[in-house]
């Protein structure tokens, strides 16, 4: 996949240089080839990195700790945010709430660091920030539920 992405990228550059935009369709074909090549290179790089990461251990650790599934964690997010804002959740610093709010505003806002009209790059920054926001909320809500269950066990015992 990396080789195919590289070939598409090179083909786009060669077509752009050879035709100079004078072909039927102008710059559409070279830009499309370059965008497809960059997209394949990014996808192949992510796939190669994913294969090298110790994801199986993380999945086992997630399954070993019974802190709730995705729905339970999603329902815990508002109470986690409220308790953190009031200072009742010492495990989560208040600046984390500010980072989450900033990320939410960035994803929703039409003003971006990389304009959305650029192919693959424009929406990529929004997807990256949104993914960080959701995974961070998911992980922290699991920790919040685990701490809540642990406090419940210690109070009962």
Residue 66 and residue 140 in one domain: yes
The 10s digit of each residue's pLDDT in 43-67 is: 878 777 766 666 555 565 555 555 7
Mean pLDDT of the chain: 79
Band (pLDDT 50/70/90 cuts) for residue 156 is: very low
The 10s digit of each residue's pLDDT in 126-149 is: 888 888 899 889 889 988 888 888
Residue 72 and residue 22 in one domain: no
Q: Are 2 and 39 in contact (CB under 8 A)?
A: no
For residue 112, give the DSSP letter: -
Residue 59 and residue 130 in one domain: yes
Residue 29 and residue 63 in one domain: no
Say how many domains are in the chain. Answer: 2
Q: Name the burial class of residue 79, with classes exposed (0-12), middle (13-18) and buried (19+) by CB atoms within 10 angstroms of its CB.
A: middle
Range of the domain at 30: 2-52
Distance between CA atoms of 5 and 43, rounded to whole angstroms? Answer: 9
Q: Are 102 and 111 in contact (CB under 8 A)?
A: no
Residue 31 and residue 65 in one domain: no
């Amino acid at each position: 996949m990396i080789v195919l992405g590289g070939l598409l990228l090179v083909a786009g550059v060669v077509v752009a240089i050879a035709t100079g935009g004078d072909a039927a369709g102008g710059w559409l074909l070279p830009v499309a080839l370059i965008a497809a090549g960059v997209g394949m290179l990014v996808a192949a790089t992510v796939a190669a990195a994913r294969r090298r990461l110790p994801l199986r251990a993380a999945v086992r650790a997630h399954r070993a700790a019974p802190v709730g599934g995705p729905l339970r964690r999603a329902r815990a997010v508002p109470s986690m945010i409220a308790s953190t804002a009031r200072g009742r959740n010492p495990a989560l610093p208040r600046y984390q709430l500010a980072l989450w709010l900033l990320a939410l505003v960035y994803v929703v806002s039409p003003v971006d660091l990389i304009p959305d009209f650029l192919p693959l790059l424009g929406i990529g920054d929004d997807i990256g920030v949104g993914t960080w926001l959701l995974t961070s909320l998911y992980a922290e809500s699991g920790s919040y539920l685990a701490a809540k269950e642990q406090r419940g066990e210690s109070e009962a015992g």
